[in-house]
A and B are shown apart, each in its own frame.
Chain A
Amino acid sequence: MVAGLVAGLLTASVATTSAVALVDDPFDRARRAAAQVSFTGTVEVRWLDGVTEHHEQLTVQSAEGSLLLKGGNQVMVSAKAERLVQHPDGGWNLLWPPALDRVDGPDPGLKYQVSEHAGSPVAGRPTTVVDIRQGSLLREQVFLDQETDLLLERRQFDEHGTPTRAVGFTSLVIDPATAVPPSPVGSADKAPEAVSAASLSSPAMAPARLADGYTRVGVFRRDGVVQVLYSDGIYELSVFERRGELDRHELGSTGGPVSVGKAAGWRYAWPGGHVVLWQAGPTVFTVVSDAPLDQVLTAAGDLPVPEKRKPSVMERLRSVARTLIQPLE
């Protein structure tokens, strides 16, 4: 999907900078607000899995740049921008250390057009809604609190206009006296470390760009797995490579088959987006993304196919020798 020309919704601009500069990036606004406003509340995550709609609630507590979410898992963003997750049966895991090396994504204005208008209330509060469009296609609606600019809800739509995902407050209490959630110390076993693309065993497998405006913003090694992270300015997409056989049980009973370029794969939804997996030779590719599915498939289909391994000369010689010797045994 080539980013369309700026829609007439925005005032015409001949500036060479992106069209988004004219309307403040809603996420920048929301981030600034969250740094200044302390609050507690309840958040609901809704997602469409095939035809089934799921929803889960979590409580949230935020003060002085620290954020704590409590659902089945607990998720923590510390003031140092670390991210930690705790599962019910275990301790905290540090999954994103402070100051990890990743570059900014591309300017979202290159691919998206942004406009805003008054929106319907969320958690009983009046909102401004920012529409994020790709050409004429509405991809997201971002509801900002009119009073504080806090992000109250995000809704994502597929290419047919069906809402597929939403995260939003069902109740919100703004309170300057909100306690700062204590920062846990997590195990760093699964924490990523940044590596250069050139240092990978097959750097060609981590291209700098994928179709549909996705630019590589980081390459990480976590617990032996390589993660290549891409961004289009609004959404992100991770490509993981694992050597081995795709276990059909990872495909689960939800989701369905899908073509990824020329490969046959499987896709399913998770609360925050989509997963697509396929086997290519000795490698399992897994793409996890918060982008709409059509974008995920376009970008994923642009990944290079691993080279077929040719047997080495010694292996060929050995095979031939075995063939000749065997009949005489």
Chain B
Amino acid sequence: MTDGNVPTWEEVARDHGRFLYTVAFRLTGNDDDAQDLVQEVLLRVRKGLETYRPGSLEGWLSRITTNTFLDEVRRKRRRPADPLPENPDWVLPPSMAADEALAGGALPDDVQTALRGLPADYRAAVVLCDVVGLPYQEIASALDVPVGTVRSRIHRGRAMLREVLA
């Protein structure tokens, strides 16, 4: 993305689609919710582009994604499940890494399941740090909490994950 250029939302969807989906999937843990989250995020992106000041686009997108995710969680509202599509066209091919063990023997699917088991606030902090790679200060802005809270949520989230996967 050209610095100083405000992208169109179609460009955001096309050029950062995979990134958005990865974050959404790591936060929600399943394809249906991830798709819903991405669509909601893109709606907000569309509205938010007017006030977007060029800078870290991924940071901005991550903030919107996490806030949208947490809004959903706080509202404790589950979207009604879409009826299963009639044709199987949308079934993903098996991911290359699905059964390739990560270093130390944890399978990505197991790690994702464990992530999903974390409380939403912890999960958001861990994803922003270890999936998106944001520094604590940006995570603090994204979640609207002090840096100290970010640090402790990340730490506890990791500890819980390790506990579950021991």
On A, residues with C-beta under 8 Å from B are 248-249, 257-259, 262-264, 278-282, 308-311, 316, 319-320, 322-323
CB distance from B131 to the nearest CB of A (A): 18
Residues on A with beta carbons closer than 8 Å to the beta carbon of B14: 248-249
Cβ < 8 Å to A, chain B residues 1-60: 14, 17
Is there an interface contact between A263 and B93, defined as CB atoms closer than 8 Å? yes
Cα separation A319 to B17 with both chains bound (whole Å):
29
Residues on A with beta carbons closer than 8 Å to the beta carbon of B17: 248
- Of B83-91, B118-126, B141-149, the one with at least 4 CB within 8 A of chain A: B83-91
CB distance from A285 to the nearest CB of B (A): 11
Is there an interface contact between B87 and A259, defined as CB atoms closer than 8 Å? yes
Is there an interface contact between B93 and A264, defined as CB atoms closer than 8 Å? yes
- Of B73-81, B97-105, B108-116, the one with at least 4 CB within 8 A of chain A: B97-105
Cα separation A310 to B100 with both chains bound (whole Å):
7
Residues on A with beta carbons closer than 8 Å to the beta carbon of B92: 264
Cα separation A309 to B94 with both chains bound (whole Å):
13
Residues on B with beta carbons closer than 8 Å to the beta carbon of A316: 103
Cα separation A257 to B85 with both chains bound (whole Å):
13
Tell me, yes or no, whether B96 is within 8 Å of chain A by CB.
Answer: yes
Q: Which of A262, A264, A311 contacts B90 (CB 8 A)?
A: A264
Cα separation A259 to B89 with both chains bound (whole Å):
5
Is there an interface contact between A280 and B89, defined as CB atoms closer than 8 Å? no
Residues on B with beta carbons closer than 8 Å to the beta carbon of A319: 102-104
**Using a Cβ cutoff of 8 Å, how many contacts connect chains A and B?**
39
Cα separation A281 to B97 with both chains bound (whole Å):
9
Residues on B with beta carbons closer than 8 Å to the beta carbon of A310: 100
User: Which residue of the partner chain B has the closest CB to A245?
Assistant: B18
Is there an interface contact between A262 and B89, defined as CB atoms closer than 8 Å? no
Is there an interface contact between B99 and A308, defined as CB atoms closer than 8 Å? yes
**What are the 9 tightest A-B residue pairs by CB atom distance, in nearest-first order?**
A319-B103, A257-B89, A263-B93, A281-B96, A323-B103, A320-B103, A323-B104, A259-B88, A259-B89
Is there an interface contact between B89 and A264, defined as CB atoms closer than 8 Å? yes
Is there an interface contact between A311 and B100, defined as CB atoms closer than 8 Å? yes
User: Which residue of the partner chain A has the closest CB to B93?
Assistant: A263
Residues on B with beta carbons closer than 8 Å to the beta carbon of A249: 14
Residues on A with beta carbons closer than 8 Å to the beta carbon of B87: 259
Cα separation A249 to B94 with both chains bound (whole Å):
22
Q: Which of B90, B94, B100, B104 contacts A257 (CB 8 A)?
A: B90
CB distance from B165 to the nearest CB of A (A): 13
Residues on A with beta carbons closer than 8 Å to the beta carbon of B99: 308
Is there an interface contact between B104 and A320, defined as CB atoms closer than 8 Å? yes
User: Which residue of the partner chain B has the closest CB to A309?
Assistant: B96
Is there an interface contact between B100 and A308, defined as CB atoms closer than 8 Å? yes
Residues on B with beta carbons closer than 8 Å to the beta carbon of A308: 96, 99-100
Please, could you name 17 A-B residue pairs with CB atoms under 8 Å apart, sorted by A?
Answer: A248-B14, A248-B17, A258-B89, A259-B87, A259-B88, A259-B91, A262-B91, A262-B94, A264-B90, A264-B92, A308-B99, A308-B100, A309-B96, A316-B103, A319-B102, A319-B104, A320-B104
CB distance from A319 to the nearest CB of B (A): 3
Known: A248-B14, A259-B88. A278 touches B93 (CB 8 A): yes
User: Which residue of the partner chain A has the closest CB to B89?
Assistant: A257
Is there an interface contact between A322 and B103, defined as CB atoms closer than 8 Å? yes
CB distance from B21 to the nearest CB of A (A): 12
Cα separation A320 to B91 with both chains bound (whole Å):
33
Cα separation A322 to B104 with both chains bound (whole Å):
10
Q: Which of A248, A262, A282, A320 contacts B96 (CB 8 A)?
A: A282
Cα separation A282 to B96 with both chains bound (whole Å):
8
Is there an interface contact between A262 and B93, defined as CB atoms closer than 8 Å? yes
Is there an interface contact between B90 and A280, defined as CB atoms closer than 8 Å? no
Cα separation A282 to B93 with both chains bound (whole Å):
12
CB distance from B71 to the nearest CB of A (A): 29
Residues on B with beta carbons closer than 8 Å to the beta carbon of A248: 14, 17
Cα separation A209 to B28 with both chains bound (whole Å):
43
Known: A264-B93, A316-B103. 10 other contacts (CB 8 A): A259-B88, A259-B89, A262-B91, A262-B93, A264-B90, A264-B91, A264-B92, A280-B93, A310-B100, A322-B103
Residues on A with beta carbons closer than 8 Å to the beta carbon of B91: 259, 262, 264
